[in-house]
Amino acid sequence: MQTRAPIIDAAVPAHVPVADRMPDRDFTPLLASVEAAPRDAGRLEALVVRPTRETRQVVDEAQIDVDLGVVGDCWLQRGSSSTPDGSARLDSQVTLINTRVLAAIEPDRSRWPLAGDQLYVDLDLSIENLPAGSRLRIGDAVLEVTPEPHVGCAKFSARFGSDALKWTNTRRGRELRMRGVNTQVVRSGSIRVGDEVVVERD
């Protein structure tokens, strides 16, 4: 993998949350941009590998594997507290987030990897557009959207502000999956920043 940036320490964000820099933000005018995201074919705008739970590495390309998820990412090693044996959940191998949401809550693009997602896409991730079972083709790989919800947490609030967390967790925010979407790898392959993200329709 060719890196575009050094490893980022997500445990210590470089700046204070946007809420402290831009108080009383009104996201209402920005909702239309999120709703206007491409429905059938979008673009992979950034790719982030998490070597450890609290580190991020922005890369140009990566291998996606049916067993390992994003190769080099800690998804498999970190496991999950929601499984009986602490093993990783297959239904959350790879997470995607809409870059239009990030642009609304964080003007500093260099901080976007703090969100903790791996694939940053310009695509409509809404439940209506991508019900569970929908498949996305990116480069040589294929991902399947899973029913497992991907919702904001305290870390998201600490990094981007409580108002950002509240906005993504509103009823409309959840319908649009503004916090992101969980997927499982169904076909291994290589992906690169700039690849088309295609919704495979029957």
Q: Give the pLDDT of residue 3.
A: 44
For residue 8, pLDDT beyond 60? yes
Note whether residue 81 is domain-resident: yes
11 belongs to a structural domain:
no
- 18 inside domain: no
Is 16 inside any structural domain? no
Range of the domain at 101: 25-200
* 10 occurs within a structural domain: no
Q: How confident is the model at residue 94 (pLDDT cuts 50, 70, 90)?
A: very high
Q: Residue 69's CB: how many other CB atoms inside 10 A?
A: 25
Beta strands in 108-154 (DSSP E): 119-122, 135-138, 141-145
Looking at residue 25, its pLDDT comes to 65
* 34: helix, strand or coil: helix
CATH number at residue 139: 2.40.33.20
Spatial neighbors of 174 by CB under 8 A, at least 6 apart, are 127, 149, 151, 168
Least confident of 30-44, 74-88, 154-168: 74-88
Total of domains in the chain: 1
Residue 54 dihedral angles phi and psi, to the nearest 5°: -115, 20
In a domain, 62, yes or no: yes
Pairing of strands 119-122, 196-200: unpaired
pLDDT top residue among 7 and 69: 69
Is 65 within a domain? yes
Considering the domain boundaries, does residue 12 fall inside one?
no
Single-letter code of the amino acid located at 16: V
